[in-house]
Amino acid sequence: NAGVMQNPRHLVRRRGQEARLRCSPMKGHSHVYWYRQLPEEGLKFMVYLQKENIIDESGMPKERFSAEFPKEGPSILRIQQVVRGDSAAYFCASKGQAEQYFGPGTRLTVT
């Protein structure tokens, strides 16, 4: 079991471009979380999804951010028209029985 996979590991975007971050959960897991870590801060919850459903998106910014987890394929976190303040590490976690298993993260840099 390769664990939670995220790609790309590093992503550089210019202001105004779109960023797409991908997360493949552990085999057999059908729920994922997305967290964001701004510089010098802890991880903050963004959204919780199961296949084809958004369960809780209370941590998502109201505009430009969206997430999906289709029946087939990875979960995707999409950020439209990126701004410098979106520069952060984005972590995905998949839900096991007792704990969340984290991916290595995607570091987004907006120039």
Q: Does 102 bind another protein (CB under 8 A)?
A: yes
Please report how close the Cβ of residue 34 comes to another protein at its closest, in angstroms. 10
Stretch that binds another protein, among 18-26, 63-71, 72-80, 88-96 (CB under 8 A): 88-96
# binding residues, another protein (CB under 8 A)? 25
User: Does 25 engage in binding with another protein (CB under 8 A)?
Assistant: no
| 51 close to 75: Cβ distance less than 8 angstroms | no
CB 102 within 8 A of CB 6: no
Task: Identify whether the C-beta of residue 13 lies closer than 8 Å to the C-beta of residue 107.
Answer: no
Give the residue with the Cβ less far from another protein, 28 or 72: 28
Helix (H, G, I), strand (E, B) or coil at 84: helix
Q: Is 90 in the site for another protein (CB under 8 A)?
A: no
Is the separation of the CB atoms in 37 and 89 below 8 Å? yes
Over the window 32 to 61, marking each residue x when it contacts another protein by CB under 8 A and - when it does not, the resulting string is -x-x----xxxxxx--x------xx-xx--
59 in Cβ contact with 47 (< 8 Å): yes
